[in-house]
Structure 1
Amino acid sequence: MFVVYSSIYKCVAAGQLSSTNGTKIDDDFEGYPIDMFCVPKHYYNYVENILIPRGVIADRTERLAKDIWDALGDGRPIVVLCVLKGGYQFCSDLMDYIKAFNRHASKSVPMRVDFIRLKSYENDRSTGEIKVIGGDNLQSLEDKNILIVEDIIDTGNTMMKLLKIVSDHNPKSVKVCSLLVKRTSRSNNYKPDYFGFEVPDKFLVGYALDYNEYYRDLEHICVINEEGKKAFAV
């Protein structure tokens, strides 16, 4: 267990860990061997390493939930807008923690959940076109406090598109929480209000992040290898 969490301890010691700015995972971090954890056999040969174990994700998500609840838990209703499909697991776990704070505190905040689905990737590359291919009636966002929950911010272009769509429906306020922010030269420098981890420019799968709809059933966030890309290409 010490080996698994040692990189997180190093981030704390180096001042790289903060509640809202995320935990920085360095480019040269090699991750953890897959034989240290339970990985489905059908992915065993298609994962390079485990970048973020499930337990670390859970601990970081709990802290993000606390930060969000402290900032927004003033009795004003919140609409949580979950970006599907990749954000569903993170959103579910984040809300479980926020609901726990709601149950055990003197103040609480009403919440409800809406969903939107966007698509910008085919295989491991962005198509350059962002499609809204599903979602509820966003007219209900008018004059509401919105918390957008996303799995990963890559270039930032998808989130900027979504923020424009949401703003067109006249919300009262909008905050964004992403589990991951990718460190890439393609970024437009957008950073969400809350995020869990700043990660290297690698294609990540697991914990509901997919590669052509595969790998969502992995518990951990992993780096896909070249064999995996070929095996599940479209």
Structure 2
Amino acid sequence: MTGNSCIVLSDDYKGYELEYFCVPRHYEDSLECVLIPSGLIQDRIERLARDVAADLGREPFAALCVLKGGYKFLADLLEKIKQCYRFSSENSVPFSVDFIRLQSYKDDHSTGDVKVLGVDGLSFLQNKNVLVVEDIIDTGKTMKVLLEILEKQKPKSVKVASLFVKRTSSSSGLRPDYVGFEIPDRFIVGYALDYNEYFPCESCLCHQ
């Protein structure tokens, strides 16, 4: 498993001009560019799904989605994982899905004060392979809190899949097991990553 390998967007990466894509007009004045088109995101998720399926083999697993932004990545990732199993075997691999919410952002800034919601009743993860699905990891401090909580449940294994990892000087050094894209320290929206509930777009967009 290549794990930490991913597509890296350089600091001077400019993305694509908005005029080349179908961006809702009422969002245009708030956006800088299309950072990653939807098609590229889907292709990258397909490869991540193949890596996850190869690592898990035929073992059941529990997918733990970090809300709110992770739900779309979770849905697309699990669908592509199921496709991998269908192509490689007649038998499907059972998995469960649950959700957790971690809160550390206010507007577009991380407050550093992590609030963990919905963690009661995670004892069912004991002795299970757990796949944590996150939309974006910024400093990594929030994810570290979650991993500490999960460790107390005595799972068989824990892997983290994050579609985006932000390159920032305040990073805790945490690196997910599966990474879609490493991006510069810019605030992004789209693909279920919102700004105060706005920008539900399919592509990854750079917010001004």
> Over residues 184-228 of structure 1, what are the superposed CA-to-partner deviations in whole Å (9 max), with x where a residue is unaligned?
00001110111000100001111011111212x111111101xxx
Task: Please tell me whether the aligned partners of residues 4 and 175 of structure 2 are also in contact (alpha carbons under 8 angstroms).
Answer: no
| 1:172 is aligned to 2:151 | no
Matching of residues 3-14 of structure 1 within 5 Å: none
* Structure 1 Cα separation of the partners of residues 3 and 36 of structure 2: 17
Give the structure with the higher percent helix: 1
* Paired positions, count: 206
Partner of 2:203: 220
| 1:205 is aligned to 2:189 | yes
- Give how far 1:126 is off: 1.0
* The 10-residue stretch of structure 1 (163-172 or 108-117) with the greater mean CA deviation from structure 2: 108-117
* Structure 1 Cα separation of the partners of residues 68 and 37 of structure 2: 20
* The 10-residue stretch of structure 1 (126-135 or 162-171) with the greater mean CA deviation from structure 2: 126-135
Task: Please tell me whether the aligned partners of residues 147 and 175 of structure 1 are also in contact (alpha carbons under 8 angstroms).
Answer: yes
Q: CA RMSD in A?
A: 1.4
Higher relative contact order structure (alpha carbons within 8 Å, sequence separation ≥ 6): 2
* Structure 2 Cα separation of the partners of residues 174 and 85 of structure 1: 20
Unaligned runs of 5+ in 2: none
Deviation >6 Å, runs of 4+: none
> Over residues 74-102 of structure 1, what are the superposed CA-to-partner deviations in whole Å (9 max), with x where a residue is unaligned?
x2110010100010111110001001112
Unaligned runs of 5+ in 1: 1-17, 226-234
Give aligned-pair identity as a percent. 54
- Give how far 1:124 is off: 1.0
**Paired residue secondary structure (1:104):** helix
Q: TM-score, normalised to structure 2's length?
A: 0.95
Cα distance change on mapping 1:67 and 1:219 into 2, 3 Å? same
Amino acid at match of 1:31: G
| 1:82 is aligned to 2:65 | yes
Task: Please tell me whether the aligned partners of residues 19 and 63 of structure 1 are also in contact (alpha carbons under 8 angstroms).
Answer: no
| 1:95 is aligned to 2:85 | no
Partner of 2:87: 104
Amino acid at match of 2:87: H
Amino acid at match of 2:106: E
Task: Please tell me whether the aligned partners of residues 164 and 183 of structure 2 are also in contact (alpha carbons under 8 angstroms).
Answer: yes
